[in-house]
Structure 1
Amino acid sequence: MDLSSIRKNKNDYYKLANDYLKNIDSNELDISFDKIISKSISILMDHDFIPTPCIEIKLELQNNQIKVGNYFLYIDENKQFLDEFLF
């Protein structure tokens, strides 16, 4: 994986995660939030249940400036969806 490309295009990665999050049916969400904060982009080299290597994009969800959850998007180096996790 090309770290410099990820660093240069980090806004594209956060936008991709935002798009996936917004595509989740609101009826399936157990939480409500009014703000999404870009938190981190990581490369996973070893993980128990996610195919690796892959890229993990973390978004923090807030409601009235209080953290109510996190959203994680897992993609491969070609930005293809692998998994997502919301808690």
Structure 2
Amino acid sequence: MNLQKQILDNKEEYYQLAIEYYYNIDEEHLKNIDKIVFKSIVILIDHEFVPTPCIEIKIELYHQNESDRISSYCLYIDKEKEFIYEFLIDK
């Protein structure tokens, strides 16, 4: 199956995978999260420090009563959905 079509047909599954990986690194921090926003899914062809080709899934995390994000999380996986790298930016 074409990778683009696979991602389009299963984008919710990809976002849920990113949320699961985020739970694994920071479950305590997640208790303060009231809103998760799905930002993007990108196929990376070339990257400075992440092995490519790969898929980048980005989510942003918010408190319910705040409009400013409190962190962004990026998960990098291969086409078989195996973990490559993750990146968390706290505000």
In the TM superposition, 1:1-87 aligns within 5 A as 2-26=3-27, 32-63=32-63, 64-65=65-66, 66-87=68-89
Instruction: Using structure 2 for the length normalisation, give the TM-score.
Output: 0.83
Instruction: Using structure 1 for the length normalisation, give the TM-score.
Output: 0.87
Query: How many residue pairs get matched?
Result: 84
Question: Structure 1: 5+ residue runs without aligned partners?
Answer: none
| Secondary structure, counterpart of 1:4 in structure 2 | helix
- Normalized per residue, which structure has more helix? 2
Matched AA of 2:69: K
Percent of aligned positions that are identical: 51
The alpha carbon displacement at 1:26 in A equals: 4.0
Root mean square deviation, CA, Å: 1.5
The alpha carbon displacement at 1:33 in A equals: 2.8
Structure 1 stretches of 4+ with a deviation exceeding 6 A read none
